[in-house]
């Protein structure tokens, strides 16, 4: 027979309590995953409307469950749009320069 100190028993009980608290089921996440899975199966079997409805419901549930992630993406979106706009402006300027050079070369070769 072994003797276990009381403070160890208290810490073990607290650890067990934390494990039980972490194992609570997130039903919104389960419903979102189930709806997305069902929507995918329905789409693969040819039921387009039902699959689209189930997939949309699953996506909506996932968005509701992950509000912080959605907010972070929404807040980062203007920065991404600005970056894409700068890239498109650079591409447009490059295309315009190439068009000018093509026109100059065309004038040189046609003389």
- As a whole number of angstroms, the distance between CA 96 and CA 111 comes to 23
pLDDT digits (tens, 9 = 90+) for 40-87: 999 999 999 999 999 999 999 999 888 898 899 999 999 999 999 999
Give the torsion sign (CA, 73, 65, 37, 21).
positive
Strand ranges, E, within 1-111: none
* pLDDT at position 6 over 90: no
27 pLDDT tier (thresholds 50, 70, 90): confident
31, pLDDT greater than 80: yes
Q: Would you say 64 and 28 are in contact if contact means Cβ atoms under 8 Å apart? A: yes
Mean pLDDT in residue range 23-32: 83
pTM metric for this prediction? 0.50
**Per residue in 10-23, pLDDT tens?**
666 666 666 655 66
Mean pLDDT, residues 88-102 taken together: 97
**Is residue 52 within 8 Å of residue 39, measured between CB atoms?**
yes
Q: CA distances (Å), 53 to each of 34, 41, 48, 50, 87, in order?
A: 13, 12, 9, 5, 37
pLDDT-derived band at 100, boundaries 50, 70, 90 = very high
pLDDT at 38 over 90: yes
Please tell me whether residue 17 adopts helix, strand or coil conformation: helix
First to last CA, the chain: 107
């Amino acid at each position: 027979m072994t003797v276990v100190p009381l403070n160890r028993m208290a810490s073990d009980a607290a650890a067990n309590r934390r494990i039980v608290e972490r194992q609570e089921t997130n039903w919104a996440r389960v419903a979102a995953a189930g709806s997305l899975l069902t929507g995918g199966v329905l789409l693969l079997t040819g039921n387009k409307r039902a699959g689209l409805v189930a997939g949309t419901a699953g996506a909506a549930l996932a968005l509701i469950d992950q509000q912080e992630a959605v907010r972070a993406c929404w807040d980062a979106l203007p920065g991404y749009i600005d970056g894409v706009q700068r890239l498109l402006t650079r591409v447009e300027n490059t295309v315009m320069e190439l068009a000018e050079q093509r026109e100059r070369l065309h004038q040189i070769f046609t003389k």
